[in-house]
Amino acid sequence: MKTSGLNLQGVQRSFDTPEGPRHVLKGIDLEIGSGDRIILFGPSGCGKTTLLHLMAFLDQPSGGQLHFNGEATDQWTEAERCKVRAREIGMVFQQFHLLPHHSVLDNLKLRLRYLPHPNPLPDNAEALLEEVGLGGRENQPARLLSGGEKQRLCIARAMLLQPALFLADEPTGNLDDKNAEKVRDLFMDVSKRGAAMVIATHDQRWFEFATRVYAFNQGQLELISI
């Protein structure tokens, strides 16, 4: 597992609307390092997903700075952002983003499409599927998986390249209690390997998993648990 450090200093994000600028993030200060398990807690629309997108370099702040492994990112080109995102960051979205008629293995391979050069499937692929409870299902179409199995496949895909930073947006929002518990156990396994983890959720059951919990308060983060 690679090591990671992500530092946010005074990060702001505003969006233009017909009524004027909408200030979603209003000066976010946050340091994230290897082994951290950070929960971003709050209801829909509070800014959790916006902040995750900035951390994944899918978007850029309106103000403030992000540093990744000590390097300022404001002057990065889109190619540089894509390279870091492909190699260093694993993402689990609220929607599964699977190809329903393609096999489990083909959906796992989607992770490799974002690398700058063609890469073979890593040797750990089958072991990873076994680890998430999908061993022996490599050739099954993704559409035949249950909701919990689809989410576990998404986690395996995010873990494939052993990312330094692991981001998840409401990873148990669509799961029952049993499958949600399995996902939290998988995330703990990822954390034990040294990945920095940031999870956006409105589910307080994640609090026991966290090393730090932040609640959104009018566009800012408030530490509510350590």
Residue 118 has pLDDT above 70, yes or no: no
**pLDDT tens for each residue of 56-67:** 999 999 999 999
Reported confidence tier of residue 42, pLDDT bands at 50, 70, 90 = very high
Cα(226)–Cα(223) distance, integer angstroms:
8
Helix (H) or strand (E) holding 27: strand 20-33
Q: What is the pLDDT averaged over residues 89-103?
A: 91
Tell me what pLDDT residue 115 has.
77
Cα(204)–Cα(143) distance, integer angstroms:
30
Q: What is the 8-class DSSP label of residue 34?
A: T
Tokens 């233009």 locate to 16
Q: Pairing mode, if any, of strands 20-33 and 5-17?
A: antiparallel
Identify whether the C-beta of residue 50 lies closer than 8 Å to the C-beta of residue 24: yes
Determine how many CB atoms are found less than 10 A away from the CB of residue 115: 13
The DSSP secondary structure of 96-115, one letter per residue, reads: ----TTSBHHHHHHGGGGGS
Cα(2)–Cα(164) distance, integer angstroms:
5
Q: Pairing mode, if any, of strands 63-68 and 5-17?
A: antiparallel
Phi and psi based region of residue 10 (left: phi greater than 0; alpha: psi -120 to 50; beta: remaining): left
Q: What is the pLDDT averaged over residues 155-183?
A: 88
Identify whether the C-beta of residue 139 lies closer than 8 Å to the C-beta of residue 173: no
Lowest-confidence segment of 16-30, 132-146, 167-181, 198-212 by average pLDDT: 167-181
Residue 124 has pLDDT above 80, yes or no: no
- Over pLDDT 90: what percentage of the chain? 62
**pLDDT tens for each residue of 184-226:** 988 998 888 889 999 999 999 999 999 999 999 999 999 995 5
Identify whether the C-beta of residue 83 lies closer than 8 Å to the C-beta of residue 116: yes
Average pLDDT of every residue of the chain:
90
Tell me what pLDDT residue 226 has.
53
Tell me what pLDDT residue 225 has.
58
Helix (H) or strand (E) holding 189: helix 177-192
Pick the more confident residue, 72 or 179: 72
Determine how many CB atoms are found less than 10 A away from the CB of residue 52: 20
Could you tell me the pTM of the whole model?
Answer: 0.90
Tokens 């179409």 locate to 141
Tell me what pLDDT residue 176 has.
85
Residue 160 has phi, psi (to 5 degrees) of -55, -40
Q: What is the pLDDT averaged over residues 155-177?
A: 89
Which amino acid, 197?
M
Residue 1 has pLDDT above 50, yes or no: no
Residue 3 has pLDDT above 90, yes or no: no
Tell me what pLDDT residue 94 has.
82
Residue 178 has pLDDT above 90, yes or no: no
Cα(205)–Cα(214) distance, integer angstroms:
14
